Each structure stands twice: as structure tokens, then as C-alpha cells.
Amino acid sequence: MAGAPHEGLRVIELARILAGPWAGQILADLGADVIKIEKPGAGDDTRSWGPPFLPGPDGGTLGAAYFHGCNRGKRSVAVDIATPAGQAAIRDLVRGADVLIENFKVGGLARYGLDYQSLSALNPRLVYCSITGFGQDGPYARRAGYDLMIQGLGGIMDLTGEADGPPQRVGIPLVDLFTGVYAVVAIQAALAEREKSGLGQHVDMALLDTQVAILGNHSIAYLATGNTPRRYGNAHPSIVPYQSFACADGHLILAVGNDGQFRKAAAVLGLAGLGTDPRFATNEDRVRHRETLIPLMAARMAEIPRDTLLAGFEAAGVPAGPINTVAQVFADPQVRHRGMQLELDSGGMPVPGVRTPIRLSRSDLVLDRPSPSLGQHTEEVLAGLALPPDAN
């Protein structure tokens, strides 16, 4: 193997909670040396976001599971950036760094001399990534932004939930996670450009921008027609049948992607006549007549056990699947085969993890380093820097 792709890359992470640390964890898994700067005594807010907490030695804890979900593979340095000594430590680290990730409010780091303008003067090759709720400019720039707020403001909640029910948040912090992934893409793009220009640049990531971008087909449908998309629950606005159904003993998802699959699905259900009915001949027809078609299919599926239906659809080549709990996900043979669950060691204590879903034919990922304890690496990281004793 060729080693980790980002081996030798140094990243300074001045970020907490989720979007910034998620980006930092991806870079760490790809081999970067990610130095997480934390406030002495407290550290990243998510260290205390429990229960659940991971058990530690002698009846103690290793901190909240939340923290361990987005800080694998990093080194923790406890530095108080509100002090001149702490600011000097960050500046010295930045001189040898490639990337800095921060998620302070707009202008928040300028008072410490740690903003992009100040640090790029020290290191013109620095790629400086700022993650905020609304970006570095615009009428909302100075507002705080949180995932739930952005889901509401950015339209995804109005598209989520049953048609006759209230708007619903997506069950995961979708915007934070997507922003972290987009931030990594942007950082890598800036690093690639640096190979040509020799210069770093400022990456401006906004949660709201990300949420608007991932509205996907819904946004284009609105822009093309002027019609506001509506909620369909687990159904699809443009594909029928493409939704969940109740079976005799549970639920499944049927995802018919073309007319041939629909005819096969109808045959599996013993409703072959639906496959030849002109009202349902094409997807456009099925969308138009969904109020007639779906109750017919739903009534039949409610009579048949889930696993019987899944086996029948699989044999016929019709896309279908179960609705798993999280426990069932990690017991799934495909998930287990792909090694998505990690078991790390933190001083003799087991720490669970979930691998970054990237596989490269020649390069390794670094997936064996657990999340650090607060300040665990302060001495080793700062040892080579000419700093006053009160840097942390």
C-alpha cells in the first residue's frame, strides 16, 4: 500500500461541537496530523454531552460518546487562546501547518490575532477554513447557527414528515455532517490549487449554504416550475411506488425505479393486472394515479410477512429492503463485511467507532487512533516551540 493519502499534512483544529470536528476527523482518518486546540479545564463542549458516556478505568469515564464520534485520530492540546501566551502558541503552530479549521462567530478570532488575515501573513501557504451558520458576509453573518435552526430555515424540515403532519427534523444532525464533508472537499481543493500557486486561501463554509445546496431535486423542481414542493412522508414526489409499506409483521421499503421493475413487483404481489393496467403503465402515469395505485398495493402487502415479500422482490430483481434499527444496521452482514464498526483501544479501555466510508485501492486510512483525552498531547506538541510557561 502507498500509506495514508494525507500523511505529513498538519491541521490545526480550532473547532468544537460537530461540523468542524467532523471535517477534522475525516482528515485524520486520511492520515493528517490533526492538532485539536481545546480550552483548558473544559475542552470541546461535546466531552460532556451525555449520557451515554464511555466507561473508563477505575469506574470513571472517557467522556461522552458524542465526543468520540467525531474526534478520532487527533492530538489534543489544551491552550487558552484568550491569553497572549496561548495566542503565541497558536501562531507558532500555524507557521508549520497546512490547514486551520475554525468555527468561531464571524470576527471572533480577530481579537486574538488569529483571524485569516493575521495568520496568512505568518504562513502564506495556510488553507484557513471557517465554518459558521451563515457565512462571512450577508445580513445574517453575525447570527449564531445551529443544525436544527438551519434545517428549519433551509427548507428540509418542511419537506420531512407525513403530508398531513407537522414539519420534522431529520433524525441526525444532517447539516453539520454535510458541512463537514463539504469542508473537506473545499480544503482539498484549496490544497490542490496551492500546488499551482504556492499560496493558501480562505475557505468560507456556511451551514445555510450547505442546507440549500442539498435540497437537491426539490430545489430544482421549484426553480423549474415555481411550485413549492410538499411533504410526502416516506414517499417520493416523482417516482411511484417508491416508499415504505406496512407488511403483516413490520415494514419494508419498495423502490421501483422503472416500468419493468413495476411489472415485476406487481407479479410478486399477485397483482399482475396492475402491471398491464394503462393507468399505471409508465412512471408518469403512476405518479398521476398514485392515490389509486398505492392503496391497492398497500392492502396486499399488509397480508404478507415482511421477509416473504423481501425474498420475492429480491428473486425478481426489484429493489426492496428492510427498515432497520441502529442495532440491526451493525448486525447486518454487509455492514460487518465492510468493516464499518471499529474497536479502538484507549489505555486498555475499548472505544467504539465508525470508519470513514472511503476505500482507496493503493492508500491506507489511519483508523486505529482513539479520540484523545483533554490536553493529552499538549507537552509533546508544544515541546519544540519557544513559548512562555503560561501558554496553557
pLDDT tens digits, one per residue of 151-171: 999 999 999 999 999 999 999
Average per-residue pLDDT in the chain? 95
Tell me: pLDDT of 391 over 70: no
DSSP string, 172-214: S-HHHHHHHHHHHHHHHHHHHHHHHHS---EEEEEHHHHHHHT
Indicate the range of 39-43, 143-147, 258-262, 380-384 predicted with least confidence.
380-384
Per the structure, the count of domains in the chain is 2
pLDDT tens per residue across span 59-103: 889 999 999 999 999 999 999 999 999 999 999 999 999 999 999
Catalytic residue among 80, 115, 176, 209: 176
Q: Hey, what long-range contacts does 236-244 have (CB within 8 A, 24 or more apart)?
A: 238/283, 238/287, 239/283, 239/287, 240/283, 240/286, 240/287, 240/290, 240/293, 240/294, 241/265, 241/286, 241/290, 241/293, 241/294, 241/297, 243/294, 244/323
> Residue 1: what pLDDT?
63
192/122 Cα distance (integer angstroms): 21
Q: What percent of the chain has pLDDT over 70?
A: 98
Kindly state whether residue 4 falls inside one of the protein's structural domains. no
Kindly state whether residue 264 falls inside one of the protein's structural domains. yes
Whose CA is closest to 190, among 380, 386, 330, 9? 9
pLDDT tens per residue across span 333-366: 999 999 999 999 998 899 999 999 999 999 999 9
Residues 127 and 208 in one domain: yes
> Residue 387: what pLDDT?
55
The predicted model gives 203-212 an average pLDDT of: 98
Q: Kindly report the CATH number assigned to the domain that includes residue 29.
A: 3.40.50.10540
Block residue for cell numbers 498538519:
10
Kindly state whether residue 349 falls inside one of the protein's structural domains. yes
> Residue 116: what pLDDT?
98
Q: Identify the three-state secondary structure at position 62.
A: strand
Tell me: pLDDT of 204 over 70: yes
> Residue 389: what pLDDT?
47
The b-or-e profile of 91-103 (16+ CB within 10 A means b, else e) is bbbbeebbbbbbb
120/226 Cα distance (integer angstroms): 44
Domain that holds residue 153: 10-214+339-384
The predicted model gives 38-53 an average pLDDT of: 95
104/47 Cα distance (integer angstroms): 18
Taking the complete model, does pTM exceed 0.85, yes or no? yes
Q: What percent of the chain has pLDDT over 90?
A: 94
63/49 Cα distance (integer angstroms): 8
Residues 162 and 260 in one domain: no
> Residue 384: what pLDDT?
72
> Residue 388: what pLDDT?
52
Residues 167 and 259 in one domain: no
> Residue 344: what pLDDT?
95
Tell me: pLDDT of 274 over 60: yes
Tell me: pLDDT of 21 over 90: yes
pLDDT tens per residue across span 102-143: 999 999 999 999 999 999 999 999 999 999 999 999 999 999
> Residue 58: what pLDDT?
83
Kindly state whether residue 143 falls inside one of the protein's structural domains. yes
Residues 317 and 348 in one domain: no
pLDDT tens per residue across span 228-264: 999 999 999 999 999 999 999 999 999 999 999 999 9
Residues 372 and 315 in one domain: no
Kindly state whether residue 102 falls inside one of the protein's structural domains. yes
Kindly state whether residue 220 falls inside one of the protein's structural domains. no
Q: Quick check: is 147 catalytic?
A: no
CB of 268 within 8 A of CB of 316?
yes
